[in-house]
Amino acid sequence: MLYTGSICLLREPFRNAARAAWQVPGPLRVFDPNIRPTLLPDAAALDTVRTMVEEFFATADLVKLSSADAAVLYDGAEPPAAAEHIRKLGAKAVVVTWGPGARSWRPRTAPPC
């Protein structure tokens, strides 16, 4: 399993190492955006991070999204809307932590788990 998140993407050489590892076929790819607004000085920095995380979302086997991540990345979006957007980008599955419990989300067209 390969597990990464956005904090390591903020700096080189970690960003390039994460991208290179993500391209290796085989391991389950899990992405946890773990957005930290205090590390993003302005709207341009948030836009840059959003572009980077969406690059990883597009090929992730699993995205672990918190309700806080959804709100920051997608301008106050509710987790189900953010999860649907992430699935449309290409993520195979999205698990949302939302308050004290975890919830999974899948499109209505997906077969039952």
| Contact partners, residue 23, CB within 8 Å, separation at least 6 | none
Q: What is the pLDDT of residue 8?
A: 85
Q: What is the pLDDT of residue 89?
A: 97
pTM: 0.85
Report pLDDT digits (tens) over 53-107: 999 999 999 999 999 999 999 999 999 999 999 999 999 999 988 877 666 655 5
What is the three-class DSSP state of 5? strand
Q: What is the pLDDT of residue 113?
A: 45
Report pLDDT digits (tens) over 19-47: 999 999 999 999 999 999 999 999 999 99
